[in-house]
Amino acid sequence: MSNKTIQLHLGIGACIACIFLLAIAIPTWVSSPSNVRFLIMSPVFWPATLAILTGIVGLGLLLDWRRAAPEADEPENLADSPKAARLRLLGMAAIMLVTMYALPRAGMVWTCMLVFVASAFLVKTRHPVAAIVCAVAVPLVLYAFFAHVAGVAIPQGNFVRLP
């Protein structure tokens, strides 16, 4: 399957996911109390925002697909063997199990940092420095927002507590 075909399928899938989330999933399964003072604090706000962003990305993929020049025939990428794929799947399962064990002990922020790095290196990222920077920065920024701006308690670990 060529990159152009994959891009088309991803764009269509993202648009369908956006419509499903906005029309069915969020109104049906996400409840919001009527006394929420700020829109950003509503439980519906962030799922709807992510659904809309998914739709925008899908439309971007579709628009880029329409403008893209025809590709030359590309050979299929057969670098990964089925055995390597199974090992990665087992590795991801192990990461998930360790995550469930580590969350109450190390806390959400530290566990997310380690899980991000482990997942990035499991899938053999081409940008290891960016993965490490994001693994540290994203959980810390999210913690700062939710703990200090939104006033939401983030689970802390037994060993190191964030301010």
Distance CA 22, CA 26 (A): 6
Distance CA 70, CA 59 (A): 19
Per-domain boundaries in the chain: 3-67, 82-149
Distance CA 98, CA 86 (A): 18
In Å, how far are 21, 97, 125, 163 from 140, measured between CA atoms?
28, 23, 21, 11
What does the block give as tokens for 96?
Answer: 């998930």
Query: From first to last of its 163 residues, what are the pLDDT tens digits of the chain?
Result: 677 888 899 999 999 999 999 999 999 999 888 888 877 778 899 899 999 999 999 999 999 877 765 655 555 555 568 888 899 999 999 999 999 999 989 999 999 999 999 999 999 999 999 999 999 999 999 999 888 887 888 888 887 778 7
Residue with tokens 């799922």: 47
pTM: 0.61
